[in-house]
């Protein structure tokens, strides 16, 4: 009997999803995260699975893991001290960055200081032109001088980013060879090896973030491997990637930037799998944990991809799931500013000390405490009995803020909820606008520990079609890692007009990308794995400054069908911006290829059909929408397909609580999903 395990480490809880390959059953588990001892929560969880479910570590033959070690290092700016080796005369690339300010509505907004300060940027004498021709070979002495200066400055790693290396990486490779010869102790990241894209800043900052987190990622992964071996897990672990796929540990060690959004992507992939299996075509995944709310677009089972996602204060230009992250979660802290105005977040109580009502040392009220004070949670244990909710403690924590504001505890707590929802509303609206989408056509798929708790309130403000709460929403991210496909991205910069001259080389360029992708899959994961290839291109009208990604059919490339490519770009431009120009010349900047190899997927269990009315566990008093209500509390385990409920209602289960406000209703589908819709919509 074999098992496949997916693990997701969040700010408050670490989630496990285990698939029994013989019975096709999924076991789930939550344990408290240990930010003070990273990785120990995995060993704790494996021990509990062995004790409770009889799952022996040696029987685990597939193990995936989503981690936040990379993103946390960037957000907290706790990476290593780096040097940058740049082409002589082009050493200000990180200082110049891009002209736009971080917050366009704040006239005092300032760009963050670069991760590599200007005094640690060293000039290398060399030059490659824009066509990839080497005009000046690397001057060895300039590299040695730069190494000596980097050592003297206490640098622990080096980023090599030379002009036009996306066209020809020869000079970067030559610099790296000298570094490895003279200073092998310094980890080196070359920009063309990490992600060979046009535009110097985008390529340089991506390589910089890779090098910035690399030593701690390597240390984490090596410790992780040793711990699994100690427990008896023989299968080599895989790591979820920012693009929603998985990769081996060795690739993760060298291409650390590919796993910066590892944990976030797992949740989106889990939502995508569930939406496809249950037949929902237009979904916004809503993953709310202890620290943040993450929203992504899923249409027909396909996750929207993006480039330039912001990590902390810095963008990374690798393929990744297009996620909007808001600093509002169940652990977001409430505070009153100098003007006497209540604020929420972005600081979070995390797992330690956590919300006040979790009784783990927290003293400052959080969003979770707001729901507890309003009576919407606290009607059972959470986190598979990992925590008990103390409603009295939550109310006591809100009392000082309520007195300062001159309103009741319930009013203060509800105001905090409204502030958190308002913050989510603004960023989610921006994501919908970015892709030209109408929220009335979309469902929220709410998961994470706080997604079902807050999802209905946000959906109501956005005028969404409804909210879907899956059977085990608290561990959907772990399930996402379990079902994620093996996947890798490849790119080739063409920077050419879409004309007859390009048509002659399109098939050749596409075939070269295909050969690279097939070689990678065979080398990393085996020669006989099934796979699919998905082509796209970054395109623009000539004269535009930035591109949009357009999906391409393979035959358009092999047959050099320039008119089909032009028409596809026009359609995409029309959808995003409401207009197109069929007569305007078009350029292809980058040709992209994604290779994906599917992993086994579990079959979803169906729910028995209800033959009796819903059984109400108890009634409680809850403060919702500015008034006190008598609210039914229903246990999720008692609900069957076809059951129907009207809000306000509270649905309690082991891993989360679903809060349904007045004016909404709940239906159970055959898969056990809660389908929550406005009453007037039916």
591 and 634 fall within a common domain: no
Residue 511 near residue 483, CB atoms below 8 Å: no
113 and 184 fall within a common domain: yes
| DSSP letters spanning 412-429 | HHHHHHHHHHHHHHHHHH
Q: Is the pLDDT of residue 242 over 60?
A: yes
| DSSP letters spanning 307-323 | SSEEETTEEE-S-EE-E
* Span between the terminal Cα atoms of the chain, in Å: 46
Q: What is the total count of domains within the chain?
A: 3
pLDDT, position 385 = 61
200 and 100 fall within a common domain: yes
What region does 66 belong to: left with phi over 0, alpha with psi -120 to 50, or beta? Answer: beta
CA distance 514 to 126: 32
Q: Is the pLDDT of residue 153 over 90?
A: yes
Domain at 490, CATH number: 3.30.1490
Is residue 534 a part of any domain in this protein? yes
Q: Residue 339 phi/psi, 5° resolution?
A: -95, 5
Please say which residue of 216, 238, 254 terminates a domain. 216
Is residue 64 a part of any domain in this protein? no
To the nearest whole number, what is the mean pLDDT of the chain?
90
CA distance 301 to 504: 35
The residue ranking higher by pLDDT, 469 or 302, is: 469
pTM of the predicted structure, to 2 decimals = 0.82
Q: Is 426 exposed, middle or buried (0-12, 13-18, 19+ CB in 10 A)?
A: exposed
CA distance 535 to 547: 16
Residue 339 CA: distances (Å) to CA of 343, 365, 402, 403, 404: 11, 19, 15, 15, 12
Contacts 24+ apart (CB under 8 A), 26-30: 26/472, 26/479, 26/602, 27/53, 27/55, 28/472, 28/474, 28/475, 28/478, 28/655, 29/384, 29/475, 30/383, 30/384, 30/386, 30/474, 30/475, 30/655
Domain at 202, CATH number: 3.40.50
172 and 210 fall within a common domain: yes
Is residue 478 a part of any domain in this protein? no
Q: Is the pLDDT of residue 552 over 60?
A: yes
Task: Print the domain residue range for 144.
Answer: 77-216
Pairing assessment for the beta strands 13-20 and 26-32 based on DSSP bridges: antiparallel
Element of type H or E holding 13: strand 13-20
pLDDT of 561-590, one tens digit each?
999 999 999 999 998 899 999 999 999 999
The residue with tokens 């082509």 is: 535
Is residue 83 a part of any domain in this protein? yes
**11 confidence band (pLDDT: 50, 70, 90):** low
Please say which residue of 172, 196, 216 terminates a domain. 216
Residue 665 near residue 659, CB atoms below 8 Å: no
pLDDT of 291-335, one tens digit each?
778 899 999 888 888 777 777 788 889 888 888 877 788 888 999
What region does 659 belong to: left with phi over 0, alpha with psi -120 to 50, or beta? Answer: beta
Is residue 645 a part of any domain in this protein? yes
Residue 626 near residue 414, CB atoms below 8 Å: yes
CA distance 18 to 25: 8
pLDDT, position 35 = 64
pLDDT of 489-514, one tens digit each?
999 999 999 988 888 789 999 999 99
The residue ranking higher by pLDDT, 37 or 538, is: 538
| DSSP letters spanning 429-466 | HHHHHHTT--GGG-EEEEESSSHHHHHHHHHHHHT-SE
**112 confidence band (pLDDT: 50, 70, 90):** confident
CA distance 44 to 161: 42
Please say which residue of 216, 234, 264 terminates a domain. 216
560 and 637 fall within a common domain: no
635 and 558 fall within a common domain: no
């Amino acid at each position: 009997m074999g098992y496949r395990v997916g693990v997701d480490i969040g700010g408050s809880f670490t989630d496990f999803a285990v698939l029994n390959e013989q019975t096709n059953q999924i076991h789930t588990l939550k344990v408290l995260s240990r930010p003070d001892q990273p990785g120990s929560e995995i060993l704790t969880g494996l021990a509990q699975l062995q004790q409770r479910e009889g799952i022996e570590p040696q029987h685990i033959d597939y193990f995936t893991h989503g981690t936040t070690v990379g993103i946390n290092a960037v957000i907290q700016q706790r990476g290593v001290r780096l040097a940058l080796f740049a082409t002589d005369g082009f050493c200000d690339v990180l200082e110049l960055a891009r002209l736009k300010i971080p917050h366009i509505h704040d006239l005092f907004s300032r760009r963050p200081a670069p991760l590599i300060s200007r005094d640690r940027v060293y000039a290398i004498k060399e030059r490659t032109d824009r066509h990839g021709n080497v005009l000046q070979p690397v001057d060895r002495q300039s590299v040695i001088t730069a190494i000596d200066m980097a050592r003297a400055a206490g640098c622990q790693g080096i980023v090599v980013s030379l002009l036009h290396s996306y066209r020809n990486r020869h000079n970067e490779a030559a610099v790296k060879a000298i570094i490895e010869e003279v200073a092998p102790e310094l980890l080196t990241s070359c920009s063309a090896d990490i992600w060979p894209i046009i535009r110097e800043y985008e390529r340089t900052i991506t390589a910089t973030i890779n090098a910035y987190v690399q030593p701690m990622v390597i240390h984490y992964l090596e410790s992780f491997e040793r711990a699994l071996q100690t427990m008896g897990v023989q299968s080599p672990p895989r790591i979820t990637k920012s693009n929603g796929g998985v990769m081996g540990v060795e690739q993760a060690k060298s291409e650390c930037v590919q796993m910066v959004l590892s944990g976030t992507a797992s949740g989106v992939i889990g939502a995508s799998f569930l939406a496809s299996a249950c037949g929902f075509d237009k979904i916004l995944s809503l993953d709310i944990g202890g620290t943040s709310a993450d929203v992504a677009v899923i249409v027909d089972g396909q996750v929207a991809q993006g480039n330039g996602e912001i990590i902390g204060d810095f963008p990374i230009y690798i393929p990744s799931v297009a996620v909007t992250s808001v600093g509002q979660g169940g652990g977001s802290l409430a505070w009153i500013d100098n003007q006497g105005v209540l604020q929420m977040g972005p600081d979070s109580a995390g797992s330690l000390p956590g919300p006040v009502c979790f009784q783990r040392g927290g003293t400052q009220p959080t969003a979770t405490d707001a729901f507890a004070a309003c009576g919407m949670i606290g009607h059972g244990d959470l986190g598979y009995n990992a925590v008990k909710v103390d409603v009295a403690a939550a109310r006591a924590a809100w009392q000082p803020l309520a007195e300062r504001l001159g309103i009741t505890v319930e009013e203060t707590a509800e105001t905090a909820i409204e502030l958190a929802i308002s913050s989510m509303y603004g960023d989610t609206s921006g994501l919908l606008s970015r892709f030209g989408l109408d929220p009335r056509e979309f469902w929220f798929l709410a998961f994470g520990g706080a997604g079902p708790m807050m999802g209905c309130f946000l959906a109501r403000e956005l005028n969404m079609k409804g909210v879907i709460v899956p059977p085990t929403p608290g561990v959907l991210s772990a399930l996402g890692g379990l079902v994620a496909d093996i996947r890798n991205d490849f790119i080739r910069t063409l920077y050419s007009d879409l004309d007859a001259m390009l048509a002659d080389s399109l098939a050749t360029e596409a075939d070269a990308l295909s050969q690279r992708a097939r070689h990678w899959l065979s080398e990393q994961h085996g020669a006989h794995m099934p796979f699919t290839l998905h082509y796209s291109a970054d395109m623009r009208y000539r004269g535009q400054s930035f591109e949009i990604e357009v999906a391409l059919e393979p035959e358009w490339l092999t047959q050099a069908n320039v008119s089909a490519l032009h028409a596809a770009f026009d359609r995409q431009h029309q959808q995003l911006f409401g207009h197109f120009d069929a007569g305007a010349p078009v350029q292809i900047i980058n040709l992209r290829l994604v290779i994906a190899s599917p992993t086994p997927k579990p079959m979803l269990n169906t729910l028995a059909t209800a033959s009796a009315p819903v059984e109400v566990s108890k009634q409680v008093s809850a403060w919702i929408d500015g008034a006190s209500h008598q609210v039914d509390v229903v246990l999720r385990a008692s609900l069957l397909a076809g059951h129907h409920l009207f809000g306000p209602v509270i649905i309690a289960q082991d891993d989360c609580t679903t809060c349904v406000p007045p004016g909404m209703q709940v239906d159970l589908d055959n898969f056990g999903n809660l389908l929550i819709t406005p009453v007037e919509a039916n």
